[in-house]
Amino acid sequence: MHQVVDLAPGTDRNPIARELAARVRTNLASSESTARRFRSMRGSVLMIADDLGAALTLRFDFGRLTIHDGRVGVPDVTLRASAAGLDNFGRIAEAVGGLSELTGSGRRTAARRAVSVVGELRASGIKVYGLIRHPRLVLRLATLLRV
C-alpha cells in the first residue's frame, strides 16, 4: 500500500516542514513495520517551536500525512519545545527502550509505555499535551520522527 506525505499549500516555503516531510518519507521507506504503523495513524498533532515562534500541524489519516504551516483545527496532541527539542523527540522516545514496538494488550500497554517516557521528555524540555489520551499516536509519531 502507498503512503502519502503532503505539504499543504504554502507550507513548501517552510524549511522545517520540508525537512520533517523528508524525514518521514525516509523512515517509511526504510521500515515496513513503521509503514504499517503509519497506515493505522489517525489524528492531529501540533508541533510548536517556542524559540522560533513557529508551529506545524501534522494531520494523519490512515496512510496519509498532510503537514500544515501553523495551527489547523483542534489537535489531539501538542508537542511544545525548542526547535532542537522537537528535532530530538524521536531520538529521546526511541532511547527509552523499544517504544517502536507496541506489543501487549493494547491501549493500557501503550499508555504505560507512554507514561514511562514522560520523565525523559521533561528533562529534555519537551512538553507533550494529550499523551495520556492518545498514547499510541504519540509513540507512533516518535517512531516516525526518529533520526
* pLDDT, tens digit, 9 for 90 and up, residues 59-86: 999 999 999 999 999 999 999 999 888 8
Please report the DSSP string for 76-90 in residue order: SEEEEE-HHHHHTHH
* Cα-Cα-Cα-Cα dihedral sign, residues 38, 118, 131, 84: negative
Element (H, E) at 112: helix 107-116
What are 101-138's pLDDT values in tens digits?
A: 444 455 666 666 666 666 677 777 888 899 889 988 98
| Window from 25-29, 97-101, 114-118 with minimum mean pLDDT | 97-101
Element (H, E) at 134: none
Residue 105: CB atoms within 10 A of its CB come to: 7
Evaluate if residue 96 carries a pLDDT over 90.
no
User: What is the extent of the structural domain holding 13?
Assistant: 4-144
CATH at residue 86? 3.30.1050.10
- Residue 112: the pLDDT is 66
Number of domains present in the structure of the chain = 1
pTM: 0.83
